[in-house]
Amino acid sequence: MIFPMNTPMFDLLVLSITEKEDAYGYQLSQIIKTVSNTKDSTLYPVLKRLQEQGFLTVYDQPYQGRNRRYYKITEAGRQQYAILCNEWSAYKDAVDRIVKGGKQDE
């Protein structure tokens, strides 16, 4: 996809994925890559920031002799997810109005 990813979009995608189920870093990166050409290393600062903001918690779980770090959404993360979903919907609707009809104020 040619449209760039920005901080709110990364947050929305990560929170959206973890809202449905806990996920580990590589899993998150592979899902996000379906809509963006971002590198795996781009995701980890986003995860750290979301954790520091209290939107995600982390825990390790053994997998094939190693630990996987899983990310779990918090209640504050669910609230932030709802805010971002509303913002995304309003933004998408406004863009659609312009693209599909050429009018901004319907």
CATH number at residue 20: 1.10.10.10
pLDDT given at position 103 = 62
d(CA 25, CA 44): 7
* Assigned domain for 106 exists: no
pTM over 0.85: yes
Q: Which domain holds residue 18?
A: 7-98
pLDDT given at position 5 = 87
Report pLDDT digits (tens) over 55-106.
Answer: 999 999 999 999 999 999 999 999 999 999 999 999 999 999 999 987 655 5
Q: In the predicted model, is pLDDT for residue 41 greater than 80?
A: yes
Higher pLDDT, 40 or 73: 73
The region that residue 88 occupies, defined by phi over 0 for left and psi between -120 and 50 for alpha, beta otherwise, is alpha
* Assigned domain for 39 exists: yes
Count of the separate structural domains present in the chain = 1
* Assigned domain for 18 exists: yes
